Structure formats: structure tokens, C-alpha cells
Structure 1
Amino acid sequence: MTAPATEKGKTIDAVWSGTWVADRLGVRLEGASGDPGAPRLDELLGLALRRNPKRAHLLVSNVLGKHVPQSPQAVYAAGHGLGERVRALLDASGEDPATAVVLGYAETATGLGHCVADGLGSAPYLHSTRRPVPGLAAAGGFEESHSHATSHLLLPEDPQLLAGSGPLVLVDDEFSTGNTVLNTIRDLHSRNPRTHYVVVALVDVRSPADRERLAAFAAEIGARVDLLALASGTVHLPEGVLARGQALVAEYEQQSADAAGVAGGAGAAGGAAGSAASRPGAGAAVRVPLDWPAVLPDGGRHGFMPAHRILLEASLPRLTGQLADALGPEPGRVLVLGSEELMYAPLRLARALEESGAAREVRFSTTTRSPVLAVDDPGYAIRTRLVFPAHDAPADGPGDRYAYNVAGAGFDTVVAVVDSHGDTAALHAPDGLLARLAPHAGRVLLAVVPARRPAGAAVPATPATAPVTAADRQEPTMPEPLRGPAFSSYAPEDVGWLLQDLSGVALEAPTEEREEAIQAGGAHYAESLPVEYQPSPQYQELYRDALAGSAARIARAVGTVTETVLAERSPSPVLVSLARAGTPVGVLMRRWATARHGLDLPHYAVSIVRGRGIDANALRWLAARHDPADVVFVDGWTGKGAITRELAAALRAYREQEGPGAAEFDGDVVVLADPGSCVSTYGTREDFLIPSACLNSTVSGLVSRTVLRDDLVGPGDFHGAKFYRELAGADVSADFVDTVAARFDEVADTVAADVKELLAADRTPTWEGWAAVERISEEYGIHDVNLVKPGVGETTRVLLRRVPWKILARRGAGADLAHVRLLAEQRGVPVEEVDGLPYTCVGLIHPRYTRGATGADGKAVASK
């Protein structure tokens, strides 16, 4: 697959594992002229294909230990050698290597970064993670724009780990555009400026323009940025390669599905693995007792300090002996298989096992979340694929995970290494990883290392072996929901607000000041409120026209999403809207259920805050009074899907914090409109004007956005919000609901047909909206997806609450954008007509906002 194969002790010349892709798509690797002793690009890399809207080809490393089983010594040496080069660079610069901190990227470079830190000597190590930890504050976060799973968290146990002034060493497996590194440095430099950054990768294949961009960025922030790689060069991509690559992937995926006899190959080896040699009759996995020191972190997720390195080196002989005892006297060819972010611990075990001579041959690789096409051809880097469900409560929700080049590779023993967080029922399920491995090895062993629970993280109130009860948690008594007319202008039966009333607190700040504080990292958007927009008579007239013209369309979407929920989720759902955009939708869904089925559905509104999660006290209140299986979370619409992801991550964090016996809520949010293709239950996927997005509190029961601030919201409190009683004269909340509900009867037949079609359709989210946002972010030089707000609803929010830079409008968009154009005119924001926009419009916030600043086009950024 990578290194020369052997057959009966004889070496066989290997075909380069990139020829299959190169021959079909014309992709070519060209090494840079330079160090004659550096390895060639085609020695380090093979090529494969994947389904990705930005880049169909995948550079597959032969020395990373991720997709290709490799000698653990070769994997370790690649990273360790790079660390030695970093140390030499710092020595030559007159800097003390002991003052450096090494930061690796999840998931592919977590082990590589750790090896670099080892080579550097005494440097502490931290890697980013997609696994949130309740109670542990993030020291940073950033987006990986080209990846299918982008959000990274930095969660050091020691909050001062990244606060020093010494060099910061950033490690990734490849350096293709530099966007990820730029995003990271931009975030961390704004928090704690440094004078020197060192970027390390196995390969550097940036374009000349990307190299210039990094140099310009370094000059902009006034810091030195060095780059080190094992090899560098260029990936030449012929015109049209993306479309042809996607077509090739679709063709071979269909062939694989047909061969496996299941749609998409789910549960099959994927691609070629269905025909690979297997070993029927393989038994269940055998657990290996591994005496991993309790104080030794399993990796760098929360920091790995020099003292931990000393403890690991001292413990490895004992741990290796335990593993060798479990393998027995003749283990044959052994694969040590790590799990996603858990790369370093299994790598060190595999390397020590290889050095001990306890097995004839040892190879190392890890599972991954990255979906790649498998083709059984010597000139293709991913020969086989095993597919299994995620087993470690991932941050981006349930889904498939993969092990590549394991099936058919002739391993006699596979040792799967996971942390205790991933030692779940899904791991041991009939379709889980262990079961998938069994047919392709003589036996499967399972070694579990304890997942690090950092100081400051929330812990269960009782031991993990005992059921946790409400009495164990000693929860404070929480108040009953707020209801109108004391709080909100909705009827008391329409919605109960699981919030606390902060109406007497001064929370509003001018929009420009809020934007400055938010982008500078000095404040979170949920710590204050924008001044409520008071619409002009002209704007109010636009709202009334929009409502009259779209009421039937909204009624149809309300009916469709409600009927789908009743058919698929629960015959008696508990509607829980995400305040506040989801609340009018929740009220309408409740009204539909009453009008069409005579149901009196409970409806509550709860707070969710991007970057901080959902109100855990509200979840506890719901779990104490309703069956969590009946709870359905409701929102207004999706943009790029940030809140959809936030909800999934927050519910997993809630379960971790509550411990065994915690309520299981379904995080699949339902929405009126899903233009971003982020959810599976929706009323429509069209991006159209929902008039409730045109206004703020005056169409949402006179309730503000929710507030989460430490001095106002205690550990036992609900999140807060304000009731703007003084705006009662402008309130149209009840009128909006009544106007839409009046159209229910006329759309009933259409809704029935829509639901029938939807229930038979494949509604799997494609996240195409997220991909579009990433593209727009790059095209307009923003490089931060959080500052791109897609769709009519999100664009309206930008104009009402943020400081917009410009509005992108789909050329020819009509009445749906009348209010957007008026708001833009009133605020002096340019509207740019574009072709091929997947949304009706997109709002852009400038990434370097300061009052009085101008954008790249010379237009004022600040509102007028």
C-alpha cells in the first residue's frame, strides 16, 4: 500500500499509490528543488478521492499513521525529526527551546504534534479537540475551512499554558493553503501576542499566492513566522478536476453500494473491502488489562507537560509487557489501531512493542472521521475501508467513522486502543468497530486508557457505577416558566419561558461598541443586548406587505414540519423552541396541532448561546416534568448550521456532566426553513422571507435575545432575557401568529402531499450551506465563517443587530429582499448583486471592524 510489500520474504517493488488518481484526473505532484537529502513528495504521499465540495483529491500520508498502516518507528521518527529541526532553529535564533509551546491539530496531527514536542525536548504540548468538556473554559477556538469537520477547541487544563511569550509551534500534517494556521494565529495572537511562530508540517504544498499571504499576515501582526516541512512542492490540478473528481467518486460509490447490496455501502467494508479476504468465525474482542497511571494524560487534549513525558517513559516498559503478555508467544502480524484524536498513546505502545521484538511485525494506524473513497488498486492509497458508527460521543453528532487499509491486509492480531470516553456500547455493538475488525484478523484485543478529566471540569455527583438520581445531584428548586402577560405578550398557553426576567437591568449597548468588543474577544455577544431597532413607517409597511404575501407559504411550511414531527418523532411531542427566533414557529406549530388534531401540546422556550451551549438548568427542568424522548427542539431557520451543531454538542456535554442516568434528549432540531441543508426535519429547504425575521422583539412576544453573564446568571439560574413592556404599542406578535394560522385550512391538502413526499425522501443533511459559507469567506478575504451570515433571516439579523460590511444578493431576487434593501440603504451598506448564490442573500460582517474603518472596497464599515 505504501512501503514495498513482501511476499515469502522477498521484496516487491511497490507501485506509487497515486497513479490511479493521477492517470484519471491528471493530478501531479512536483517536488521543490532544494535539499537533496529531503524525501520526495511521492515517497511521503499517495492520492485518493473523497466527497468534498472544495477539494475532491486527498493527499494521503505514508508516515502519519492515520490512513495507512505504517511502522510505528517510521511514524514517530518523522515527527521527532521535525521537532529536532525546530530546536535547532530556536537555538540558532538565540531562543530557549524550553520556553516554546507546541500546538497540534485535531484529528490528524494530534500524534504528529506530540512527536514534534518530544523532538523539541522539554516543551509542553496541547492539541485542539472537537470534544467539549463541561466546566472547562476554552482558551481559544478556530475553524478549519477545508475540512468536513471544522470546529476546533483549545481546552488546556492550565489556563496559562498559552499565555507565555515564548515561541508557539503549530503542527499539522500538511500545509496546503495556510488558512487553518492563519485562523489559529489570528485567534491566539489577539488574546496573547507573541513575536515568533513556527509552523511545522510533513509536507508544504502551498501555492505562491498562499506563501505571499502568510508573509503579508506575519508583517501585519509584526511577528516572525517560520515554516518547516519534511518535503515541499506543488500539487498541479488541471482545470475541471473538482467536478471530474466528484463524478468519479459518485460512480465508484454506486458501484461499491451495488456490490455490497446496501445503499451507500453502510456497514460494508466500503469500496474494495467487500471482496477482501476475511476470517469467518473470529471471536469477540478480548480486553487487555492495561495499568495506565491515573495521573498520566492519555494525550495532549488538555496539555501534556514535561513531567508527564518523564512518567510515560518510565511506564512504557511495564505497559508494553502487559500488552505482550496479552498477545501471547506468537501474535504474528500485529496492527495497533488508535481512535480518532487518540493517536499518541497507541503510537508509543506500538513503537515500544515493535522495539521489544514481541511480534513478527507491528504496524500502526488510527480510525478517522474523514470519508474517503476506497479502490482496490495498487496505485491507489486507500485500498479498503471499514465503516462503523461513532462511539466516542463526538462533538458534531452521531455518524460514520472509518478504518482504512485494515481489511484484507493480512493482520493476525488487531489491538484497538481507545480512551475510556470512547469505551461505549456503540464500540461493542454488532455494527461497531470491534465487530467490523473481527472478520479481518485472527483476533481482536481492546486496550482502554483512562480519559483525562482535567481540573475544573464538571464531575458526576456519584460514582460512575451507581445510577445518578435527582436527589444525588441536590439540584436547587427551579422556578416555573414565565408566561404572558406578566412576561411576554403571548397568551399564557402559547409558551412558557424557561428564563429569568432581567427587565430591570440595563443591558443595551450601541451596536458599534458591541461589535468592537465581540470581535476583539473582550466580550461575548450574549453578555449584552443591542439597542432594539425601531422600524420606520416605511419599514413597517414593508413588513405588512411581506406578511400578507407569504402567510400561506409560511402556513404550508408550519403544517409540513408539524405533521412530520407527529409522524416521525412523537404523537404527543413537547415543543421546546430556541429563543427567540424559534418561539414564533413553536407557537404556530402548537396552533396547527390544535387546529388539525385537537392536541394541546406543551411549548417552552429555552436559551441557547453559540459557544456556550444550551441552558442546562432548563434541560433539568424539562427532564423532571416530561419524557425527554418526546422533547422536540424548534428553531426558525438554518443559515450555515452553527446553532444546529451547538445544540448537538451542548446535549452531549449535558449528558457528560450529568453522568450515568442522564436524560437523553434528541438533538435533531426541527426548523421552518432549512436552506443550509443542516437538518432532516423541516418545512421547506427554500430560502425565503419569513416575516418574523424582519423584526426583533415586537414579533417575538416583546422578549429580548437571551443573556448569559456570570454576574447575572448563577449556577442554579435559568439564562436571562428582558420583557420590553414599553414597546407594546408596536407589538405585532399575536397578529403575526393569527395571520398565518388563518391560512391553515387552505393549505391542508398541499401539506398532506408535501408530507407524503418528504417521508419517502432522503432528507440526510448535506451541509451544503456550510460549504457555501466557507467558499464565500475565502472569496471575500474574511477567513472567518462566523462573520458570514447566510439566508434572508440571518442577513436581516446582521442589519438589525451587527455592523455589516456588505450584503450579497442573488441577482434577480425580488420581494423577499425588499426589507433587506431598505435596511441596507438606511445603514449605508452596499448591496452587491451576484450570480450563482445558493442563498437569496448573505450578510457579511467585516473581520477587522473598528468604528470609522473602511472595507476593502473603500466603503465605510461602521453604520451611519
Structure 2
Amino acid sequence: MLQELSQKTIIDLATGRLELVTAEDVDLDAYCDFAARANPKRGFLIVSKVLGRHLPARPAAMREAMDAMAARIATDLPGPVAFLGMAETATALGQGVFAAWQARNPAREAVYLQSSRQRARGAEVIARFEEGHSHATSHLVQIADPAIRKLAASARSLVIVDDECSTGKTFVAAAEALVGAMPLVERIETVCITDWSDRGYLDAMPRPSAARAIVEGRMDWTAAAVQPAVPELAAASNAPGAAPASGMASRTGLLASEAATRAPVRAAPGERVLVLGEGEHSYEALRVAEEIERYGGIAAVQCITRSPALLGGAMASRSTFADSYGSGAPCFLYNMLGHAPDRVLVVTEVAAGQQTETEAALAALGSAVPVEVVLCHYAAEG
């Protein structure tokens, strides 16, 4: 159990009241904001400021959070070590934590896996699990390369990366599914930006486990007596999409963090550029933002996402997009003008109608800044 939690934060949302308790020295505002979810399963959303999804995040702040999480992982985990990044919100975060951990442990044997809501053709599904409160509950863990499958099966430690933990039930579900495919796992660590579970789920984990987070605390949620008109989730919200044949390798297993084959990007000194990832394809958006800043541009990262939220709180605006992966699920982009961009880049692994949709979304918000699409391809590992 956590000790010395004395700082209380109360957030009133249209759907209810959220009470958070943290240590007195925690600067909660540096890491998160809050919003009401358009989801009858759970009425609140912890909105990270360093994730690069719902709010614009500077690339340096994202990398700092990733390194801070990697630094908290135990140094004595038995190897090989398997990492799992959780779809869709923590896919860039998971790969970034994996990269930071490898930089700290260059001699350790490790593999990176990622849960997904897109089916990768020709890959083996080694595990499935459910995220009960989510807009999209079903997760697939897939591996394409037999050598990576062999390494994953020999893993003795498992590190699960997510952006936020409320109850820990999803961590338990993921761990139970993965130890079935990794029978030699002896220890598990969960790592996130904010953890409100009070570590209460650890006893339910299938192996001895530890919880790591930048911000830890407790949470109490009280739903409003009179709820706003929260829409039912769209019928396609949990539908799987199809990963492109040249799509990111992280969806089917990596031995090192990946980089896309794509056109180079440029920026003028001082130019403000918003870089948009798309769904699970978000790590390359961070890399593009870093490239822009090397030219002197001022970059921020966000992501088109399936996550449904209500306007208000952290959500100043909401734009609607089609799912490029063909599932039919509704997708959204929040706070599109929060970075005050001079230009928008959409970083995608699927050529679809992103430019037209982004231009229309900007026009609806009263902006006519130029939009470019950066199409990414990935070579299979090995």
C-alpha cells in the first residue's frame, strides 16, 4: 500500500466527480488533465500531457517521460525480458520505454511486443485479452517472425507498459494471457505514467509482480446522479481493422525500436508544426517531430484515436475521422489547434483520405493551415 498520500485533487466533470490523492510533492498538473468520457462503461478520462495523444505534447517531454519510466524498472529482472505496449493509447509510449530501457541495458536480451486492434496478415496470435471498460475491449498480441516467437517463449520477465492505471484489471488480463504464451516468466512489472490503483491488483497477478509509475496515488469516482446524454458506443467500436502489408513491425514483434522508410521532413526555424499519428501508428509521429525540431521547428505530437470523450475539461474541440484501417470504428482528434500550428503533418502507414479529412476538420475550427501526409513503410525484421 502507498504511504503518505495527503494531497487531494477534486475534479468535477459532467459525468461525475473524480477525487485523486497523491503525495504532497507531486505536481499533478505537469502530467495530466481530465475529461468526461463519451462511454457509458466509464465516465472519466485521465488525459496525459506527455503522451502525445489527446493533448499536444513536445517531443522532449515525451522522451523524458519514457526515460523516467524505464529508469523505474528493476535492474535485476531475469532475462530475456519481454515488453508489451498496450494498444492503442500506449503504443508509442511502450516502444519509447523499450528504447530507453535498451539504451540503459545494451547487453540485455529483450523483445518488444504490442497489443493491437488490427489483424496482421500471416502473424500468429499468441494471446488475446479484454479491456472491459474500454471503447474497444479486444486486444490481440501477434508475432510474425519465428525467431522472435522463440525469444518471447523463453522470456523470464514481462514488463507491461500503459499510460494510466485505474484498477489494474487490464494489467491482470494481459498478464494472464501472456504467461500462457510465455510459460517461463518468473516476474512481471507494470509501468505507467499515472497509477491510481493503490497497487491493489498485484495480488491477482499470475506471477510475483511490482508496479512502477511516475505518479502514484488513489482514486475515487462518484458518478453524477443525473448523467448527460452520453451516446452508446458505435457498433463498430470494437471491430478489428486490417494492418497493411508494409505496416509497422512493432505490431508483430521487435528486437529494437523501429524507424519507417518515408520522405524526409523539413521545417523553417520557429515554424510550429503539429504532427499527427494515427491510432496505433504513433511512434513514428514522435520521430518526425524530433526531426522537425532538429531543423529549428517547434513541434508537437498528437494522435487520431478511437477514444471517445465529451467536450469540456481537457477537451476544447473534437474532430471526427474515418478509421483508415477499415474497421468502421469512429475516430477522433481533440484540441487540434492547441499547438497553434502553422502546418499539420499526418504520419500514416495507410494511404486513405487523411488530407481531405484533416483539411475539413481544420476548416470547421476556422483554420486553413496547410496539411501534408507522410506515408510510412516498414520492412519486416530479419
- Interval of TM-score (by shorter of Structure 1 and Structure 2): 0.7 to 0.9
Amino acid corresponding to residue 233 of structure 1 in structure 2: G
2:301 aligned to 337, 359, 364, which one?
Answer: 364
1:171 aligns with 2:161: yes
Which residue is 2:241 aligned to? none
> Does structure 1 conserve the Cα–Cα contact (< 8 Å) formed by 2:11 and 2:19?
no
State the shift of 1:331 in Å.
Answer: 6.8
State the shift of 1:433 in Å.
Answer: 3.5
Amino acid corresponding to residue 74 of structure 1 in structure 2: A
- Within-5 A mapping of 1:631-642: none
Which residue is 1:722 aligned to? none
In 1, Cα distance between the equivalents of 2:122 and 2:33? 42
For residues 415-441 of structure 1, the C-alpha deviation after alignment (integer angstroms, 9 at most, x for no partner) is 11000xx212x4355xx3443245535
The count of aligned residue pairs is: 350
In 1, Cα distance between the equivalents of 2:334 and 2:182? 39
Give the alignment's Cα RMSD to 1 decimal: 2.9
Distance 1:443 1:30, change over 3 A: same
In 2, Cα distance between the equivalents of 1:227 and 1:212? 10
State the shift of 1:401 in Å.
Answer: 0.9
Which residue is 2:220 aligned to? 236
In 1, Cα distance between the equivalents of 2:129 and 2:17? 33
Bigger helix share? 1
Structure 1 residue runs without a partner (length 5+) = 1-17, 254-263, 265-294, 456-864
**What SS is found at the alignment partner of 2:340?**
coil
1:120 aligns with 2:101: yes
Distance 1:168 1:44, change over 3 A: same
Bigger strand share? 2
- Within-5 A mapping of 1:342-361: 342-354=281-293, 356-359=294-297, 361=298
1:142 aligned to 120, 123, 129, which one?
Answer: 129
In 2, Cα distance between the equivalents of 1:102 and 1:73? 22
In 2, Cα distance between the equivalents of 1:175 and 1:62? 15
Distance 1:164 1:140, change over 3 A: same
1:83 aligned to 70, 95, 105, which one?
Answer: 70
In 1, Cα distance between the equivalents of 2:155 and 2:324? 39
For residues 274-300 of structure 1, the C-alpha deviation after alignment (integer angstroms, 9 at most, x for no partner) is xxxxxxxxxxxxxxxxxxxxx997351
> Does structure 2 conserve the Cα–Cα contact (< 8 Å) formed by 1:63 and 1:70?
yes
Which residue is 1:341 aligned to? 280
In 2, Cα distance between the equivalents of 1:157 and 1:338? 23
Which residue is 1:109 aligned to? 90
2:319 aligned to 372, 383, 386, which one?
Answer: 386
In 1, Cα distance between the equivalents of 2:50 and 2:176? 29
State the shift of 1:353 in Å.
Answer: 2.1
Amino acid corresponding to residue 300 of structure 1 in structure 2: S
**What SS is found at the alignment partner of 1:83?**
helix
1:449 aligns with 2:376: yes
Amino acid corresponding to residue 227 of structure 1 in structure 2: A
Which residue is 1:373 aligned to? 310
1:189 aligns with 2:155: no
Identity %: 30
- Within-5 A mapping of 1:454-533: none
For residues 816-839 of structure 1, the C-alpha deviation after alignment (integer angstroms, 9 at most, x for no partner) is xxxxxxxxxxxxxxxxxxxxxxxx
Amino acid corresponding to residue 384 of structure 1 in structure 2: S
Which residue is 1:73 aligned to? 60
- Per the normalisation by structure 2, the TM-score is 0.82
Structure of greater relative contact order (alpha carbons < 8 Å, 6+ residues apart): 2
1:323 aligned to 265, 286, 291, which one?
Answer: 265
State the shift of 1:135 in Å.
Answer: 3.0
- Within-5 A mapping of 1:128-277: 128-158=115-145, 159-193=149-183, 194-207=185-198, 211-215=199-203, 217-218=204-205, 221=206, 223-238=207-222, 241-244=223-226, 246-247=227-228, 250=230
In 2, Cα distance between the equivalents of 1:400 and 1:110? 19
In 2, Cα distance between the equivalents of 1:102 and 1:130? 18
Q: Which has the larger radius of gyration?
A: 1
In 2, Cα distance between the equivalents of 1:213 and 1:399? 31
1:300 aligns with 2:250: yes
In 2, Cα distance between the equivalents of 1:203 and 1:227? 11
Which residue is 2:331 aligned to? 401
State the shift of 1:340 in Å.
Answer: 0.7
For residues 489-517 of structure 1, the C-alpha deviation after alignment (integer angstroms, 9 at most, x for no partner) is xxxxxxxxxxxxxxxxxxxxxxxxxxxxx
For residues 240-274 of structure 1, the C-alpha deviation after alignment (integer angstroms, 9 at most, x for no partner) is x1554x32x55xx9xxxxxxxxxx9xxxxxxxxxx
> Does structure 1 conserve the Cα–Cα contact (< 8 Å) formed by 2:14 and 2:224?
no
Amino acid corresponding to residue 112 of structure 1 in structure 2: L
- Per the normalisation by structure 1, the TM-score is 0.38
In 2, Cα distance between the equivalents of 1:213 and 1:303? 27
For residues 565-613 of structure 1, the C-alpha deviation after alignment (integer angstroms, 9 at most, x for no partner) is xxxxxxxxxxxxxxxxxxxxxxxxxxxxxxxxxxxxxxxxxxxxxxxxx
In 1, Cα distance between the equivalents of 2:202 and 2:42? 21
For residues 734-788 of structure 1, the C-alpha deviation after alignment (integer angstroms, 9 at most, x for no partner) is xxxxxxxxxxxxxxxxxxxxxxxxxxxxxxxxxxxxxxxxxxxxxxxxxxxxxxx
State the shift of 1:347 in Å.
Answer: 0.6
State the shift of 1:52 in Å.
Answer: 1.8
1:427 aligns with 2:360: no
Distance 1:100 1:384, change over 3 A: same
In 2, Cα distance between the equivalents of 1:437 and 1:418? 18
**What SS is found at the alignment partner of 1:160?**
helix
Amino acid corresponding to residue 231 of structure 1 in structure 2: V
Amino acid corresponding to residue 286 of structure 2 in structure 1: L
Which residue is 2:242 aligned to? none
For residues 713-736 of structure 1, the C-alpha deviation after alignment (integer angstroms, 9 at most, x for no partner) is xxxxxxxxxxxxxxxxxxxxxxxx
In 1, Cα distance between the equivalents of 2:274 and 2:201? 41
State the shift of 1:167 in Å.
Answer: 1.1
1:41 aligned to 8, 28, 31, which one?
Answer: 28
Distance 1:108 1:28, change over 3 A: same
**What SS is found at the alignment partner of 1:74?**
helix
**What SS is found at the alignment partner of 1:399?**
coil
